Structure 1
Amino acid sequence: MFTRIDNFLAHHTPSWYRTPTIQTITLGLVFFWVFAAFTTIQFYAASTYGADLAADSVSAVYFCFTVSCLVAPSVVNKFGCRVTMFFGVLAYASLVLTSLIYFLYGGPDVIWSRRMVVAGGAILGCGASLLWTSQGRSLLQYASKAEELNDLDYAHDTSNKKSKTQTGRLMGLFWSIFQCSALVGGAVSFRYFNKKPEGSAALYGLFLGFILIGALFTQFLLPPSMLKGIELSNKIQHVKSTSCASLSEQTPLMFNVDSGYTDEQVPTVSDGVDESNQNWTEEARGTFQLFSTKRMACLLLLFFYTGFNQPYQQATFGNRFFTRRTIGAELIIFHLMEILGAIVVGRFLDDDKQDERTPNQSLCKKARAKLCLGSFLIINSVGNILAAVQEYNAKHGASSTAHDISSVTVIPPSFAFAFWGFADAQIQVYSYWLIGGFYDSGHDHARAVGFYKLVQSFGTSVGYYFIPVSRLAEVSQLLVSSLLFVIGTGLAFAQLPP
């Protein structure tokens, strides 16, 4: 089925659709629809399910996410990105379907319906590992293809040089579209919860529709081998209109047939184009070997921090220092800064314009990595310092704990949210950019992203576990988060791009 869809799209879509940029946008739209539903479900879980069921379901999600990341790279490499992404999205529908049953036929006092919601969360967690691993491999392969197409364009047009790396730009584009899901989900939930304070079948029916639209969008993704550059397309059309007979002498396609295709040259996709030839044991060994490498050992704490930080930032800090109506505005600020950070940092990491002082390409790349990590250290530290001031004032009773949007006292904690949002996008984009620089093959991309998501998800699980102040006090949560952040970033300086 998937192969037939590929062949149909390859022969019936315009050239601009078969570009890395458009495919990255399509990938972003998959996540936009899925997480417009899931982000809202997770954020309002305590309101819709009750505190106990919410804790159980979210714990099941992240526990299964973490464990299944051990095998997700092997599944992605054996079955291909789009197949696993499609079923990964459908797994998100499991929590919505079990929630519908809970609201229609169960309730807080019906044990079997509560267990069904937890089971739905567990299935979602397994699907999340497939979805994010296939997303990482797809995006890094699109970036590699974009770099290949850029090299061909530059080889035939020296007046139009562009950046050599494309991972930062495409990851920034994807992350921006992905973060818009939180804005849309927040707007939907704001309108709904203004009228009704608890969840219902109607709300989760809407969420189910969002997820099914996301699953549909996976069918519009093309394998990297089918992609072409806009510049190449324009050259081909110009050559065709000038002289069809001289096409073989003038078009760069003859040098690399996978770099782009005319309408007559689109290849037929065969089954297994995205699949690994290794057996399951060899695939699993390739994934587990990452745990013993010095490279991943140095990055492990930073990856862990990217999951551990937000439970404190959005739950512990946000719910204590903002009134209920202000939290919505603060989340908008947070995610707008995520979008801005992704765009700015992605373009900066890919900008390899050279001058007389940086004639060496690899040194220039390392310098950009150092500047990115250094600025991340500063920006995130400012957010943590502002949070520490709020914690100190709250502990000593120097100011009211919860700030309202109508009060000027809301400005300092709001700036903390803004700095955290920018810094989170910064390190997420940097991590993908770094993985793209370390590994070349799609199979290695899947393994590395699977490792990254495993450690990140484990960090999120631990972060949510320590949210209750009976387990770890508020100031201690901030202190532990800050230590992980400083040590993890310091170790990351030891693993810069090659």
Structure 2
Amino acid sequence: MKNPFKAVNVGKNAEVVYTHNALEAGQGLHTTSDEAALQVQGSVEVPKPYHVFGLNLYPYRHPRVQTAMLGFVIFLTVGMYHVITAMGGAGQQTATLADGANITLYTVFTVFCFVSPACLNYFGMRATLCFGAVGYAAYASSLWCYNRTGNEGFVYFGGAWNGLSAAFLWTADRTGISAYATEDKKGLYVSIFWTVFQVGTVVGSAIPVGQNWNAGVGNKSTVSDGTYIGLFILMITGACVALLLYPMTKMVREDGTRVTLPAQLTWLEQLRASWQVLKDHKYIMWMWPYAWAINYYSIYQNNRYNSPVFTVRGRALNTLMSGIAQIFSAWVMLIMTDKLPLNRRHRAYVGLAFVWLLVNGVNIGGYFAMVETKFGLKESQKLDVYTPGYGPKAFLYVMYGFMDGCYNTFGLWFIGALSNDRRELSVYFSMFTFWQSACTVCAYALDFRGVSHQFMFGSSWGFLAFGPLCLLPIIKWYMKETNIIKAADLALDGQDMATDPTATAVKETAFVKE
């Protein structure tokens, strides 16, 4: 199938250091050394770590550092947003206004997922991420304003702006972490990203815990202005951090392959090319049921469990502990996706089985809690951190967080295992995000209309149990063991290519859009 993202010869400005592997592979593959460097290992010099007191400190442009920075952007934006939503009703006394704003948010989010890959490929990583981060601050400021003035219209506007931004933020960030990773370290890069992201949730959760710890049961279950102000400042900082990222077109993976070449297509051509990728890889549709379940269950967990069962102090502490559990979940999944002595397909099967068993095990426990949940309780009747019986109910919420982390990180690793091409990955992740956000619209709409908590729980469990099963056909028929060419596997003019990574470096130049 013809690649719609045809690379062209590079121009001038940014220096890229190639080894003989790239030059000779270009001849062997009848293409340019730039195109060969996208798929032949050892084609480009890799940034070397600094050795300080026996420790390896990676330089700023190393892919691990850049992945951590991508996580830090999400730390400061989505992590803070999750702090708001995890407290139930965006920290307000009821969830009605927050549900309406989130319906607006995810509706806009869903629509703009279609154009986000083209925008990422045209405008670049830094601009796309920065734009994507600003909307989160707008949403936090709208809730702060509502606390002071009761202006509901601004909350809906903040939700819409957040939805527009989120489509670009998530497509860019998820594409980056998968594109930067080598095939044998996809799980590691996902774990690095997810850990930094969830540290944001933990740090962000400390704000409402500190602000509301002395609130007890006398604050009508709303959070203070200081909570929203603190989160707003952190979110704005996230937009600034996005501008500090190293240009994606200069990035080199740890195996010496380039992440991407400079954009050579117009925005409309990028849009058509994204559609062509989807047509050429129809099997990705099997991933959609898995994506559909993500976020759907969080509405039940936050608005139908955390909010009605616990005081605001209890909810804030639950969110803090759930974030810690999510950090742990990423490294548990790393063992299955990267470390097991199995080939890629078999690791995928093991990870999928673990996720499916975990989902069902946690929801069995959740069923008994759902049966006991009572709504309409006064704040003094809810479970507080010092109330007998708080521990088991809080532990269930922590396990919901652990399940969420495992489900998400496996999904990120799985998509990353399907391709190394930044452009293909951006389309895959935009579709993943589209179904994720579309489902969230449905969940918030159901919650807004007051659908029974039994239905909300049962449907979320059903989606979670069904989604992983749909990945089995992709693993069996479409997942490859590798998408990379090793220099030693190419024979040029009857001789094997030189694979010495210390081969004489040849400097070429590349035009960079960022």
- The TM-score bracket by the shorter chain reads 0.7 to 0.9
Match of 2:180 in 1: 142
The structure 2 residue matched to 1:206, chosen from 216, 230, 233, is: 230
Task: Tell me the secondary structure at the aligned position of residue 238 of structure 2.
Answer: helix
Letter in 2 for 1:392: V
Distance (whole Å) between structure 2 residues aligned to residue 84 and residue 447 of structure 1: 15
- The CA deviation string for residues 170-222 of structure 1, in whole angstroms up to 9 with x for no partner, is 11111111112222222111222346745666554433321222122112211
Shift of 1:320: 3.6
The structure 1 residue matched to 2:157, chosen from 114, 119, 123, is: 119
Shift of 1:455: 0.7
The structure 2 residue matched to 1:184, chosen from 168, 179, 203, is: 203
Q: Which structure ranks higher in relative contact order (CA pairs < 8 Å, sequence separation ≥ 6)?
A: 2
Give the 3 Å change call, closer, same or farther, for CA 229–442 of structure 1 in structure 2.
closer
Letter in 2 for 1:221: L
Match of 1:345 in 2: 333
Distance (whole Å) between structure 1 residues aligned to residue 372 and residue 97 of structure 2: 33
The structure 1 residue matched to 2:124, chosen from 76, 80, 84, is: 80
Shift of 1:391: 2.9
Deviates more, 1:76-85 or 1:479-488: 479-488
- The CA deviation string for residues 347-404 of structure 1, in whole angstroms up to 9 with x for no partner, is 4301253xxxx6xxxxx21111111111111111111111112233458xxxxx9555
Aligned 8 A contact 2:126 2:244 in 1: no
Q: TM-score, normalised by structure 1?
A: 0.74
- The CA deviation string for residues 390-429 of structure 1, in whole angstroms up to 9 with x for no partner, is 233458xxxxx95554466445434432332222211211
- The CA deviation string for residues 73-122 of structure 1, in whole angstroms up to 9 with x for no partner, is 11111111111101111222333444555566xx22xxxx4323311221
Give the 3 Å change call, closer, same or farther, for CA 201–226 of structure 1 in structure 2.
same
The answer for unaligned runs of 5 or more in structure 2 is: 1-11, 17-45, 51-57, 375-380, 481-514
Aligned 8 A contact 2:416 2:425 in 1: yes
The structure 2 residue matched to 1:483, chosen from 438, 442, 462, is: 462
Give the 3 Å change call, closer, same or farther, for CA 115–333 of structure 1 in structure 2.
same
Shift of 1:345: 0.6
Say yes or no: does 1:317 pair with 2:305: yes
Match of 1:39 in 2: 82
The structure 2 residue matched to 1:376, chosen from 350, 355, 358, is: 355
Shift of 1:449: 0.7
Letter in 1 for 2:120: V
Match of 1:283 in 2: 271
Aligned 8 A contact 1:382 1:419 in 2: no
Task: Tell me the secondary structure at the aligned position of residue 438 of structure 2.
Answer: helix
Match of 1:154 in 2: none
Task: Tell me the secondary structure at the aligned position of residue 77 of structure 2.
Answer: helix
Match of 1:245 in 2: none
Letter in 2 for 1:315: N
Say yes or no: does 1:17 pair with 2:55: no
Letter in 1 for 2:236: L
Letter in 2 for 1:184: V
Match of 2:436 in 1: 456
Task: Tell me the secondary structure at the aligned position of residue 364 of structure 2.
Answer: helix
Distance (whole Å) between structure 1 residues aligned to residue 96 and residue 443 of structure 2: 17
Work out the percentage of aligned pairs sharing the same amino acid.
21
Distance (whole Å) between structure 2 residues aligned to residue 180 and residue 494 of structure 1: 35
Match of 1:220 in 2: 244
Match of 2:320 in 1: 332
Give the 3 Å change call, closer, same or farther, for CA 450–373 of structure 1 in structure 2.
same
Give the 3 Å change call, closer, same or farther, for CA 458–141 of structure 1 in structure 2.
same
Task: Tell me the secondary structure at the aligned position of residue 18 of structure 1.
Answer: coil
Match of 1:243 in 2: none
- The CA deviation string for residues 463-486 of structure 1, in whole angstroms up to 9 with x for no partner, is 222225x64212222211122122
Aligned 8 A contact 1:19 1:228 in 2: yes
Match of 1:429 in 2: 409
Letter in 2 for 1:118: Y
Deviates more, 1:314-323 or 1:56-65: 314-323
Letter in 2 for 1:74: A
Give the 3 Å change call, closer, same or farther, for CA 284–60 of structure 1 in structure 2.
farther
Distance (whole Å) between structure 1 residues aligned to residue 382 and residue 137 of structure 2: 35
Give the 3 Å change call, closer, same or farther, for CA 43–471 of structure 1 in structure 2.
same
Aligned 8 A contact 1:379 1:419 in 2: no
Distance (whole Å) between structure 1 residues aligned to residue 146 and residue 250 of structure 2: 44
Deviates more, 1:169-178 or 1:217-226: 217-226
Give the 3 Å change call, closer, same or farther, for CA 209–273 of structure 1 in structure 2.
farther
Number of residues of Structure 1 aligned to a counterpart in Structure 2: 417
Task: Tell me the secondary structure at the aligned position of residue 17 of structure 1.
Answer: coil
Give the 3 Å change call, closer, same or farther, for CA 24–390 of structure 1 in structure 2.
same
Distance (whole Å) between structure 1 residues aligned to residue 78 and residue 338 of structure 2: 27
Shift of 1:315: 2.0
Match of 1:474 in 2: 453
Match of 1:71 in 2: 115
Say yes or no: does 1:306 pair with 2:294: yes
Shift of 1:325: 3.4
- The CA deviation string for residues 52-87 of structure 1, in whole angstroms up to 9 with x for no partner, is 432322222111111111111111111111111011
Distance (whole Å) between structure 1 residues aligned to residue 395 and residue 225 of structure 2: 37
Distance (whole Å) between structure 2 residues aligned to residue 409 and residue 118 of structure 1: 37
Letter in 2 for 1:474: H
The structure 1 residue matched to 2:193, chosen from 170, 174, 198, is: 174
Distance (whole Å) between structure 2 residues aligned to residue 391 and residue 48 of structure 1: 22
Match of 1:250 in 2: none
Letter in 2 for 1:71: V
Match of 2:3 in 1: none
Say yes or no: does 1:440 pair with 2:388: no
Distance (whole Å) between structure 1 residues aligned to residue 392 and residue 79 of structure 2: 28
CA RMSD of aligned residues (A): 3.4
Aligned 8 A contact 2:223 2:312 in 1: no
Task: Tell me the secondary structure at the aligned position of residue 417 of structure 2.
Answer: helix
